[in-house]
């Protein structure tokens, strides 16, 4: 399985994030990337290759023009306003407030943010583009006739919507991969999100479309970030009605219960008969993840990798979350090996 990765991810690493009312070292840190690279090498995978830059036109098929303009200029506008610390929103347009983009960068941050833990720094835009380039290149590898590919994306992407960022995400890498596959001739693509947190951004992008089936297994939003999306009754709108499947699962969820939901989701994917599969591969379902509450063990990742292979679909794996840093490499590679072994 060919892998794509780039060291431009190092350009994004804020000094801290808000968690539990405190300013702490971000859980989404550069070491995550390195642990996965090391685990790939230890298990005999070829070294990841540098991706081809993602076309601006593809990003514009996934995100709004105003949002891309904001992301690409946010740091410039922030420093021009006299600020030097990492950019964080200080006000969010809540209910019954104007949903109108302000002129000042302080207001723009709140307008486009879905959460206030994710800071923008001088290198965030370049790191996000590099991450999206990995997903684009992995999808192009499939389009060239290969059966699978792995995009080691950092920063992750599945919380980034049409015009919003947060949850460590700026550009939606899985959506970039899916859209490129569609633009290259696929009629239908399935996106399976196995990250602990709901892929609210991916749902947002494809919610009114029938050319992408979105299936997500995640912590019940009543108790887990992002809280305000990911319920089972969210099934799509308009042309997309019936093409969105959410499986909110409870605290302490075991692999047996999780895999039962996965098997149901895989049946929906089989009936949909997509031309390709994009997997938002978050391994924060691990039992020792510090910001999640599922109970999957290391061996369970191999087991469900095998289940994904049985779909017999061209498959792109796109790295998302996983914050038990010491184990992220083993858990990620176990999924890929389970898939390849099958």
- pLDDT by residue, tens only, the chain of 342 residues: 999 999 999 999 999 998 888 889 999 999 999 999 999 999 999 999 999 999 999 999 999 999 999 999 999 999 999 999 999 999 999 999 999 999 999 999 999 999 999 999 999 999 999 999 999 999 999 999 999 999 999 999 999 999 999 999 999 999 999 999 999 999 999 999 999 999 999 999 999 999 999 999 999 999 999 999 999 999 999 999 999 999 999 999 999 999 999 999 999 999 999 999 999 999 999 999 999 999 999 999 999 999 999 999 999 999 999 999 999 999 999 999 999 996
* pLDDT, position 342: 62
Q: How far apart are CA 261 and CA 194, in angstroms?
A: 11
Q: How many domains does the chain have?
A: 1
Catalytic residue among 63, 158, 159, 218: 159
Residue 335 lies in a domain: yes
Beta bridge partners of 190: 213, 277
214 lies in which domain range?
2-15+23-63+123-341
DSSP symbol at 239: G
Look at residue 262 and tell me if it is in a domain. yes
CATH number for 300: 3.40.800.20
Tokens representing 147?
């059966």
Active-site annotation holds for 159: yes
Token pair in block for residue 309: 């292979």
Name the DSSP letter for residue 10. G
pLDDT of 158: 99
pLDDT attached to residue 18: 85
282 in any annotated domain: yes
Q: Is residue 93 part of a domain?
A: no
Q: Report if residue 86 sits inside a domain.
A: no
Question: Would you say residue 80 lies in a domain?
Answer: no
Angle value at C-alpha 177, between 175 and 180, nearest 5 degrees: 105
Please tell me the predicted confidence (pLDDT) of residue 312: 98
252 assigned to some structural domain: yes
pLDDT at 122: 98
- 255 within domain boundaries: yes
Dist. CA 302–CA 336, nearest whole Å: 8
**309 and 316 in contact (C-beta within 8 Å)?**
no
Neighbours of 184 (CB within 10 A): 14
Tell me the C-alpha distance between 255 and 261, whole Å: 10
Whether 285 and 294 have beta carbons less than 8 Å apart is answered as yes
| Backbone torsions φ then ψ of 119, nearest 5 degrees | -90, 150
């Amino acid at each position: 399985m060919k892998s794509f990765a780039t060291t431009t991810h190092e350009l994004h690493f804020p000094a801290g994030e808000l968690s539990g009312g405190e300013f702490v070292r971000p859980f989404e840190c550069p070491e995550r990337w390195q642990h996965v690279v090391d685990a790939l090498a230890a298990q005999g995978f070829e070294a990841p290759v540098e991706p081809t830059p993602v076309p601006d036109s593809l990003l514009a098929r996934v995100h709004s023009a105003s949002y891309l303009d904001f992301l690409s200029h946010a740091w410039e506008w922030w420093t021009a306003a006299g600020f030097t610390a990492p950019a964080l929103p200080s006000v969010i347009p809540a209910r019954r407030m104007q949903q109108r983009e302000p002129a000042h960068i302080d207001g723009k941050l709140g307008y486009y943010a879905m959460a206030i833990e994710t800071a923008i720094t001088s290198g965030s835009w370049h790191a996000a583009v590099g991450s999206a380039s990995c997903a684009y290149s992995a999808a192009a590898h499939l389009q060239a006739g290969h059966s699978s590919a792995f995009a080691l994306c950092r920063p992750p992407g599945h919380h980034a919507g049409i015009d919003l960022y947060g949850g460590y995400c700026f550009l939606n890498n899985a959506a970039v991969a899916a859209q490129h596959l569609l633009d290259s001739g696929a009629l239908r693509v399935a996106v399976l999100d196995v990250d602990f947190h709901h892929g609210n951004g991916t749902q947002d992008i494809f919610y009114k479309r029938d050319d992408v089936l979105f299936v997500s297994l995640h912590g019940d939003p009543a108790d887990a970030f992002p809280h305000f999306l990911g319920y089972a009754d969210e099934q799509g709108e308009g042309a997309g009605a019936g093409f969105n499947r959410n499986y909110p699962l409870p605290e302490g969820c075991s692999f047996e219960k999780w895999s039962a939901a996965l098997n149901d989701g895989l049946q929906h994917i089989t009936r949909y008969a997509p031309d390709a599969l994009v997997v938002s591969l978050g391994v924060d379902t691990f039992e020792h993840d510090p910001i999640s509450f599922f109970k999957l063990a290391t061996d369970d990742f191999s087991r469900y990798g095998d289940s994904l292979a049985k779909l017999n679909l061209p498959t792109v794996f796109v790295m998302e979350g996983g914050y038990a840093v010491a184990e992220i490499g083993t858990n990620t590679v176990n999924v890929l090996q389970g898939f390849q072994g099958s």
